[in-house]
Amino acid sequence: MAHRTERRKLVSILARVIPAPARPLGDVLEAVAHAGLFRRGAVLVGTGAWQTYAPMIGAVLPAATVMTQDADLATADLALDSDSGDTAMIDILRCADHSFSAVMELDPMTLPSRFRSRSGFLVDLLTPALHRTDPNPMPLDRLKAGAVPLQQLGWLLEGAVDTVALHGAGVPVRVPAPARFAVHKLLIAPKRDPGQTDKRRKDLLQAKALIEALSEVDPFSLDDALADARGRGEAGWAGPINRSLREL
């Protein structure tokens, strides 16, 4: 308990100068970490992950791009092997906020992939698409939930890294490598639906901030990520990335 108290003080000091997750997101991350999901292969993606990059790369990132009312959790391992048994995702989330409930799919027999609290905070489960015939959502039986399959998500999850979210006494999480996160944002921004203008703008702002920082502190990781992504094809990879870069 004494050690935990000291860590809380340290987190509080750091959070004064480094963007920390808002309380709903922090509570969700703490519940997910306590359930062992990050140890079992889950990766925090989206803006929740982006908030952890400032101390990792030693740069101040713009506050306008860190606001989020959701958490995106991805896994490349649908089995989520564990010796600790199965725990339903809804029960994990209710440890953070007892008001969480599953958002029902069109097919009532389908396992839920989205969960919402009474305040409107959303948690989405994602997984890399494997085949065109993948069911949507794909079942995560051990969590009694489903995960939405997404193209190119597997590339983002390769080489995910461990870090800490500045919440409570510090929450150990796993996130995509910063360079891959930046390039993935370039990749998905042009593919957003016309009605997702705000999300598209946020994608580009986050990519821009990370690219500028990495160009100073770790240009080789950025070059490698760009080269690897562009080398996977023109239409689905290099083309969207280059369009985003031209717009920036």
Are 17 and 108 members of one domain?
A: yes
129 lies in the same domain as 192: no
- Are residue 76 and residue 56 in the same domain, yes or no? yes
Specify the 3-state DSSP secondary structure of 212: helix
Q: Are residues 142 and 108 in the same domain?
A: yes
SS3 content of the chain, % helix, strand, coil (to 5): 45, 15, 40
The pLDDT assigned to 33 comes to: 96
Quick one: 102 and 162 in the same domain? Answer: yes
Let me know whether 222 and 151 are in one domain.
Answer: no
- Position 246 scores a pLDDT of 95
Judgement on whether residues 73 and 168 belong to the same structural domain of the protein: yes
Whether 169 and 219 map to the same domain: the answer is no
pLDDT of residue 19: 79
Kindly state whether residues 216 and 168 are assigned to the same domain.
no
Mean pLDDT, the chain, whole residue set: 91
Kindly report the number of other CB atoms within 10 A of residue 212's CB atom.
Answer: 13
Q: How far is CA 214 from CA 19, 194, 202, 228, in A?
A: 18, 30, 18, 16
Specify whether 219 is located in the same domain as 156.
no
Q: Are 101 and 14 contained in the same domain? A: yes
pLDDT of residue 63: 67
Domain containing 54 equals 2-176
Q: What is the pLDDT of residue 131?
A: 85
**C-alpha span between 155 and 229 (Å, rounded):** 8
- What does the DSSP 8-state code read for residue 234? I
Q: Hey, what long-range contacts does 227-232 have (CB within 8 A, 24 or more apart)? A: 228/155, 229/155, 229/183, 229/184, 229/187, 232/155
Phi and psi at 119, nearest 5°, equal -80, -5
Residue ending a domain, among 161, 176, 191, is 176
Ranges in the chain, pLDDT < 70: 63-68, 78-85
Cα(204)–Cα(241) distance, integer angstroms: 11
Task: Please name which of 18, 44, 41, 19 lies closest in space to residue 30, comparing C-alpha atoms.
Answer: 44
pLDDT more than 90, % of the chain: 73
> For 26-76, how does the pLDDT look when each residue is reduced to its tens digit (9 = 90+)?
999 999 999 999 999 999 999 899 989 998 998 888 865 556 678 999 987
The secondary element (H helix, E strand) that includes residue 162 is: strand 161-165
Q: Residue 123 phi/psi, 5° resolution?
A: -125, 120
99 DSSP assignment:
T
The residues facing 115 across adjacent strands are 102, 123
Of 114, 143, 176, the last residue of a domain is 176
Instruction: Work out how many domains the chain is built from and give that number.
Output: 2
| Residue in 118, 127, 111, 66 with CA at minimum distance from that of residue 96 | 118
**What was the pLDDT predicted at 62?**
80
User: 178-188 and 197-217 helices cross at what angle (nearest 10)?
Assistant: 150
Looking at the structure, tell me whether residues 19 and 138 fall in a common domain.
Answer: yes
Query: What pLDDT does 65 receive?
Result: 56
Q: Give me the sign of the Cα torsion angle 117, 171, 161, 17.
A: positive
Q: Which of 176, 205, 224 is the last residue of a domain?
A: 176
